[in-house]
Amino acid sequence: MMRSLWTSASGMTSQQLNVDTISNNLANVNTTGYKKERMEFKSLLYETMGHAEINEDGQGRPVALQVGHGVRPIASTVNFSQGGIERTENNLDFAIDGKGFFAVRGIDGEEYYTRDGSFKASVLNDEIMITTSEGYPILGMDDEPILLDNNIDLDRLEVGEDGSFRYMNLEGEVEELDTAFKMVQFNNVGGLEKTGSNLYRNTSASGEPIVESENDNIRNSRIIGRSLEVSNVQVVEEMVKLIVAQRAYEVSSKGIQTSDDMLAQANQLKR
């Protein structure tokens, strides 16, 4: 069997996965806090048909004769660059300017992390709980859900740049509330695992979360109220990548077609 058939097939498989990743980026162009991804590839094994070696008399082969066996995808990396800040005037919308993440309690009781600050208010008995759009509680500095008194007018609720909650009463006086967002960072954000719903989970590669308020060696993030961080996907850039991936897929398919034509021509020699 010709090597080119398998080599071209590996190229088509890899480019199909590349197109899948680009398509996902484009689909999430309007997703709040979304971070774009890109595929990384490595060449496969090489078959050495002739070694490069020179003897003491200066004779021999100055270059090797090797044939590659295609390509394989090895990783999908996330670009955590800062997205643009969009003003919404919604009192429960918060954007992060920096490297931090909000802490969220998942349905399984585990702690997850997000850059999506489009929060909602959920009435729980006599208290108001701050949650994500899917109802997951947002955690405060005590690692517990953020709960507010239900007599607080949310239109008068303010959050400082450090994530602390304030409330302006009817007399126009600002009252400090005993709660604040738990903001965390990671030594290796590339090691975070995406779990869907704009949530991330820490892994052994990302390291344990570093609480910003408890560490003086990191630069704290800034919370911007009544605003959201938009996706960092650049549509034009992704469209160019999509065209390049499509052309690479076509070239690989052309390699299979050429190999098939060569095999057909060889089979016809017996006639």
pLDDT at 271 over 70: no
Q: Express as a percent the part of the chain with pLDDT over 70.
A: 99
The answer to which of 1-5, 84-88, 108-112 has the lowest mean pLDDT is 1-5
Read off the amino acid at residue 254.
K
1 pLDDT band, cuts 50/70/90, is low
197-250 pLDDT tens trace: 999 999 999 999 999 999 989 999 999 999 999 999 999 999 999 999 999 999
DSSP string computed for 212-270:
GGG-TTSPPPEEEETEEEPP---HHHHHHHHHHHHHHHHHHHHHHHHHHHHHHHHHGGG
150-194 pLDDT tens trace: 888 888 899 999 999 998 887 778 888 999 999 999 999 999 999
pLDDT at 8 over 70: yes
Query: HSE-up of 242 (CA within 13 Å, CB side)?
Result: 14
Question: Within 10 A of 128 (CB to CB), how many other CB atoms are there?
Answer: 19
Cβ contacts of 126-132, under 8 Å, gap ≥ 24: 126/150, 128/152, 128/154, 130/92, 132/104, 132/197, 132/198
**Predicted pLDDT at 57:** 77
- Give the mean pLDDT of 58-71: 85
Mean pLDDT of the chain: 93
**Predicted pLDDT at 247:** 97
| Domain spans, the chain | 3-80+233-270, 85-229
233/53 Cα distance (integer angstroms): 49
pLDDT at 93 over 80: yes
Helical axes 3-27 vs 235-267, angle rounded to 10°: 160
pLDDT at 56 over 80: no
271/264 Cα distance (integer angstroms): 12
pTM of the model: 0.89
Query: Going edge to edge, which strands form the sheet with 174-180?
Result: 157-159, 164-168, 174-180
